[in-house]
Amino acid sequence: MRGCAAALLAGGSSSRFPGNKLQLQLPGDPRSLARRAAEQFLGLECAHHAWLAPAAPEPGALPDGWDWLQDPGRGPAAALASALRHAEAQGLDAVLLLAADLPLIQTRHLQALLEQLPRLRADPQTPPVCALDAQGRPQPLCALYATRHLLPLSALLDEGKRSMHALLERGWSGVELAPEVTVSVTSPRAGRATIHPCFNLNREQDWEQLLAWSKEGKLP
C-alpha cells in the first residue's frame, strides 16, 4: 500500500470553550478556523482528504474533494483510529493528522511532517512522527501516522485508554517547526517571544490572544 490521507479533526467540542470554536473567524478572513485549517493541505501530496466531525457538515462547508468521516465522539484517539481504518480501506498506508484548533499550522509545517513519510515506510518499527511545540514536546494532533499504528492504538482504546499520549508512550519522533513571528511581550524582563505554530486554541483567553495578534498584523 502506498499513499497518505489527510485527516482534519474538526469536531469543535471542548469543555473549556463555549460554543463551536472551529466556526470562529479571524478579522478580515471569511473562512472558519476549520476551513482555514483544511486549506493548509492544499498542494500537498495527499491521496485522500477526510473531515472528521461527529455530524455531517452543512452543504458547501467541505472543501472540494473532501469526504466527511464520522468522528465517534470518544476523543481524538478514537477519531484517529477511524481515520486510520478509513485510510487502510482506501489502500493507503499513512495519515497526516491535524486538529483544526491548531490555527497557526501552515502548509509548510505539514510538508515538513510529510517529508518523513519515506522513513515511516522504510522501518516497521518507526513510531508516529509529531510536530514539536515550543518546549520540544510532541503534539499528537499535528502528526504523521502509519496505518500499522492502528493495531497498538486499537489495543489502547480497548483497554479504556483514550489519551493520544498513551500511544506516544510506546515511542515517537519529532519535527521542529520554525516559529512564524517574534513579538513583544508585556514583561520587561521577558523581552520578546515567538508565536509558535503549535499554539492551541483551548480557552476563551486563547481566542482573545489570537484576536490581539491578528489586529497587530502578527498572524501568518
Query: How far apart, in whole angstroms, are the C-alpha atoms of residue 100 and residue 179?
Result: 18
The pLDDT value recorded for residue 147 is 96
The answer, yes or no, to whether residue 163 has pLDDT greater than 90, is no
* 5: pLDDT strictly greater than 90: yes
Report yes or no on 67 lying in a domain.
yes
In a domain, 210, yes or no: no
Note whether residue 191 is domain-resident: no
Local confidence band at 46 (pLDDT 50, 70, 90 cut-offs)? very high
What does residue 73 show for φ and ψ, rounded to 5 degrees?
80, 25
> What is the pLDDT at residue 98?
96
Domain that holds residue 17: 4-177
* 114 part of a folded domain: yes
| Model confidence band, residue 192 (pLDDT cutoffs 50, 70, 90) | very low
What is d(CA 132, CA 121) in angstroms, rounded to the nearest whole number? 21
Q: Residue 135: pLDDT above 80?
A: yes
Distance CA 41, CA 110 (A): 7
Rounded average pLDDT over 130-144: 90
Q: Is residue 122 part of a domain?
A: yes
How many structural domains is the chain composed of?
A: 1
**Is beta strand 4-9 parallel, antiparallel or unpaired with respect to 94-99?**
parallel
Is position 82 within any domain? yes
Domain assignment present for residue 203? The answer is: no
Q: Three-class SS string for 88-117?
A: HHCCCCEEEEEECCCCCCCHHHHHHHHCCH
The predicted-structure confidence for 113-126, as pLDDT tens digits, reads as follows 999 999 999 988 89
Indicate which CATH number applies to the domain containing 125.
Answer: 3.90.550.10
**pLDDT confidence band for 111 (50 / 70 / 90):** very high
What pTM did the predictor assign? 0.89
pLDDT of res. 187: 46
Residue 173 maps to a domain: yes
What pLDDT is stored for residue 196 in this prediction? Answer: 82
